[in-house]
Amino acid sequence: MSHCKGRSMTAIKRIDPKYGQGIPKLLKKIRTLSCYRHENIVSLLVFGDEMILVYEHVSRGSLDRYLDSSHLTWSQRLKICLDATKGQRYLHDHQRLIHCDVKSTNILLDDQWNAKVSDVGLSIMGPANEHSSIFSLMSKVAEMCMPHLTSMLK
């Protein structure tokens, strides 16, 4: 749902608490997400106890709407890839997050065709320092992103 507040458009989402990790844990995650500010990450602007999230509105919607279209030039496609990569790099290098659900529906495009990574809520926290075991981190990522594969390996 979109809402116009003054001159700024916002996207409003209400989370059903029964589909979450429990309200305290979810609120903590939302508070963390609201601190992330990068030109290639969809910003969470406001959240409340009613589980209502207010995001910046990204006018052109998701990338999947344009992939099969001849509307996008190759230079635009390359820029979109680079923008999405910059957003991912910010999450990885500055926030120690690994986005576990990168796909064309989670890459949003603004009116200037700038790409913004969305659905960061499915990300997981990486190791606190560079000396942590990369193997254990990747195991955690694999288990969260592909639970059907990890259950087969046990």
Alpha carbon distance 2, 144 (integer Å): 30
Structural domain including 70 reads 2-146
Active site residue 101: yes
Cα separation values, 50 from 4, 13, 15, 23, 42, Å: 20, 11, 8, 10, 21
Q: Which of 16, 101, 110, 111 is catalytic?
A: 101
Instruction: Look at residue 153 and tell me if it is in a domain.
Output: no
Instruction: For residue range 85-94, list pLDDT tens digits in order.
Output: 999 888 888 7
Count: domains in the chain: 1
| Mean pLDDT, the chain, integer | 74
For 59-108, give the DSSP string: TTEEGGGTTTSTTS-HHHHHHHHHHHHHHHHHHHHHH-EE-S--SGGGEE
pLDDT bucket at 3, cuts 50 / 70 / 90: very low
Instruction: Look at residue 154 and tell me if it is in a domain.
Output: no
CATH number, position 62: 1.10.510.10
> Which helix (H) or strand (E) segment is 153 a member of?
helix 147-153
pLDDT bucket at 47, cuts 50 / 70 / 90: confident
- The predicted model gives 29-40 an average pLDDT of 80
